[in-house]
């Protein structure tokens, strides 16, 4: 902590062995106090907080002897009693009192893993549906299995507290308080620490572009937290031009990265972060992450950004961007769907090959859903800057029925697409259960109060009016209700599946592909400048090389056999296919690649490019 940090007023609750210091930023009242509660919910005492004066206008502090970790409290602003927006835990929900949380923890495995992004295999998971119990402790029991599979980095969907006990987390309102339903803060620390002990990094999905519609008390403390010039779908946008909001978000990032020891952050919808400041908050976040990182252990920052804008990496210093063009091309090729934004993508290998060579497809062409140009050339970005996937929480959960890709295409096609994803040099992301072709859907689920919940349920069905399959009101009636407990329960993984066929076979395929990516001299050192993609005889052919070693990845994204280019047959050795184990692979004299099949050849060439 540098001197400027030490000199700043505290916010929230900071315990020590003798008591606790409390701090709040308030511009809506002339007085502020902290009220302490017992476990039975009765108020025990109220302590006035002192304003810090002109140098720190709006800040109030108090030190209360005898109040230690585990105590419950609320702030009292004038006559109004409110939860602490800097609360480290809200065990009774976002409207209840906060708990004083000790910062000390017996960490056993250091500050993080520090693996370069080029070596990472991301695995996105939702804590509440990852296991039937839906807790950090239950998820911890599966960490070793993921490490042995070949996953390197977990990416938790947002865990900041939101109303109710179940939801995706993108309507968080208390950004410092891990959701109580998943377990106490120390259970989260145990999860992260054990992951580190197994060599797994842990990233956290954070939402800094908006707050949820219920339980956000920041405006009650200071309206300056939000901008009236910019709006989001949830209300006024966070006001990053004001020091209060800027500090709230940057301190929050520090909390997750330093105090909780996450290895990095995935930033939701960075295209929706409005910051008119001379120095963008994302750039300041990068500088913060670099200051607190251990030597040689960079904190990873990944942006979800729909603009195909290379400046997110080149100017704002993010490490990578979710590049959805790859997913969309794969999806329309495997399913034939053209509803919604899929109308902007054409099935087949040609556009997919262009996407692989260019990083993303749209580089300024008109984008069908908007009619406006989208994107810029990504020529200068390295392969690791593109996060590719064939499914994620958005692409599954934003479907009316929450179907995974395996419910929409054949298993052969799914396995071929999986091979392409995992053998490219871009940063691959898996969604929980993908490795065994899980059958459980991932639906949109919420737990709002009755009034808001009714609006959400009705809005969810109206959202799909323009889709051909749901144009009829009777069809929309079958869209699962987000508020129903059953919708949440149906989204839970069924871990027993992975021991049954065909799931066991798919799991073995993922193990093979991840081992190939990890151990093969070409796949291990993949780079965009050593990648060429083309269509030959209807096959997608991706050529990768390192020095004289060459690998050809061929995919038949069609329902009919396709001729294999003669060069592959005569000059290369077949090393793996998605349709058979390597020792059972077709003999090289066979001249066709079966439908919906991926195959890998190896060879050498003096001029491989």
Report the distance separating Cα 394 and Cα 397, nearest Å. 5
Asked if 145 is an active-site residue, the reply is no
Handedness of CA 65, 70, 75, 80 (dihedral sign): negative
d(CA 568, CA 586): 13
Nearest in space to 592 (alpha carbons), one of 572, 565, 553, 573 = 565
Cα dihedral value 103, 109, 114, 120, nearest 10: -110
Cα end-to-end span (Å), the chain: 49
Q: Tokens standing for 267?
A: 């930033």
Q: For the packed helices 349-358 and 324-335, what is the interaxial angle rounded to 10 degrees?
A: 170
Q: Which is catalytic among the residues 304, 305, 497, 520?
A: 304
* Annotation says 309 is catalytic: no
User: Pairing relation of β-strands 12-15 and 300-304?
Assistant: unpaired
What letter does residue 495 receive in the DSSP assignment? G
The SS3 of residue 328 is: helix
Q: Is 92 helix (H, G, I), strand (E, B) or coil?
A: coil
Active-site residue, from 84, 268, 275, 394: 268
Cα 52 from Cα 281, distance rounded (Å): 26
37 in Cβ contact with 22 (< 8 Å): no
Peptide bond into 371 cis (omega under 30): no
- What CA–CA distance (Å, rounded) separates 497 from 438? 7
Q: Provide the strand spans (E) within 259-410.
A: 264-267, 300-304, 320-322, 386-388
CA distance 91 to 101: 11
User: Which residues are known to be catalytic?
Assistant: 268, 304
């Amino acid at each position: 902590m540098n001197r400027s940090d030490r000199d700043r007023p505290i916010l929230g609750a900071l315990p020590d062995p003798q008591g606790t210091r409390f701090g709040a930023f308030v511009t809506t009242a002339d007085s502020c106090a902290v009220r302490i509660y017992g476990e039975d919910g009765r108020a025990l005492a109220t302590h006035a907080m002192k304003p810090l004066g002109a140098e720190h206008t709006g800040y109030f502090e108090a030190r209360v002897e005898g109040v230690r970790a585990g105590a419950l409290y609320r702030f009292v602003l004038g006559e109004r009693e409110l939860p602490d927006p800097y609360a480290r835990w809200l065990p009774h929900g976002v409207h209840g009192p906060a708990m004083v949380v000790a910062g000390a923890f017996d960490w056993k495995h250091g500050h993080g893993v520090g693996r370069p992004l080029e070596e990472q295999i991301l695995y996105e998971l939702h804590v509440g549906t990852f296991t039937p119990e839906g807790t950090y402790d239950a998820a911890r029991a599966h960490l070793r299995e993921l490490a042995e599979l070949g996953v390197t980095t977990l990416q938790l969907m947002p865990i900041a507290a939101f109303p109710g006990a179940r939801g995706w987390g993108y309507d968080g309102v208390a950004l410092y308080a891990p959701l109580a339903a998943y377990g106490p803060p120390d259970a989260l620390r145990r999860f992260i620490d054990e992951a580190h002990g197994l060599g797994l990094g842990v990233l956290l999905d954070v939402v800094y572009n908006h707050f949820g519609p219920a339980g956000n008390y920041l405006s009650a403390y200071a309206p300056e937290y939000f901008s009236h010039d910019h709006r989001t779908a949830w209300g006024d946008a966070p006001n990053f031009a004001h020091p209060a909001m800027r500090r709230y978000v940057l301190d929050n990032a520090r909390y997750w990265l330093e105090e909780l020891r996450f290895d990095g952050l995935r930033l939701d919808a960075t295209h929706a972060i409005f910051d008119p400041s001379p120095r963008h908050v994302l750039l300041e976040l990068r500088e913060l992450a670099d200051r607190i990182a251990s030597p040689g252990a960079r904190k990873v920052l990944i942006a979800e950004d729909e603009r195909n804008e290379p400046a997110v990496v080149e100017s704002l210093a993010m490490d990578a961007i979710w590049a959805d063009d790859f997913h969309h091309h794969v999806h329309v090729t495997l399913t034939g769907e053209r509803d919604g934004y899929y109308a902007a993508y054409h099935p087949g290998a040609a556009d997919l090959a262009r996407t692989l060579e260019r990083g993303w497809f749209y580089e300024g062409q008109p984008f069908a859903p908007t009619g406006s140009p989208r994107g810029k050339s990504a020529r200068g970005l390295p392969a690791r800057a593109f996060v590719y996937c064939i499914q994620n929480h958005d692409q599954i959960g934003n479907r009316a029925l929450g179907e995974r890709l395996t419910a929409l295409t054949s298993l052969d096609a799914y396995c071929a697409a999986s091979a392409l994803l995992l053998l490219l040099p871009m940063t691959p992301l898996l969604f929980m259960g993908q490795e065994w072709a899980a059958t459980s859907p991932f639906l949109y689920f919420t737990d709002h109060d009755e009034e808001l919940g009714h609006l959400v349920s009705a809005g969810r069905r109206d959202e799909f009016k323009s889709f051909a399959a749901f144009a009829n009101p009777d069809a929309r009636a079958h869209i699962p209700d987000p508020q129903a407990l059953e919708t949440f329960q149906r989204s839970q993984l069924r871990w027993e599946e992975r021991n049954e066929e065909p799931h066991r076979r798919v799991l073995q395929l993922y193990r093979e592909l991840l081992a190939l990516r990890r151990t093969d001299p070409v796949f291990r050192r993949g780079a965009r400048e050593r990648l060429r993609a083309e269509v030959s005889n209807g096959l997608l052919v991706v050529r990768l090389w390192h020095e004289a070693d060459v690998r050809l990845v061929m995919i038949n994204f069609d329902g009919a056999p396709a001729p294999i280019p003669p060069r592959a047959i005569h000059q290369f050795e077949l090393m793996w296919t998605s349709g058979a184990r390597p020792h059972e692979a077709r003999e090289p004299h066979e001249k066709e690649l079966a439908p919906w099949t991926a195959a890998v050849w190896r060879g050498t060439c003096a001029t491989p490019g």
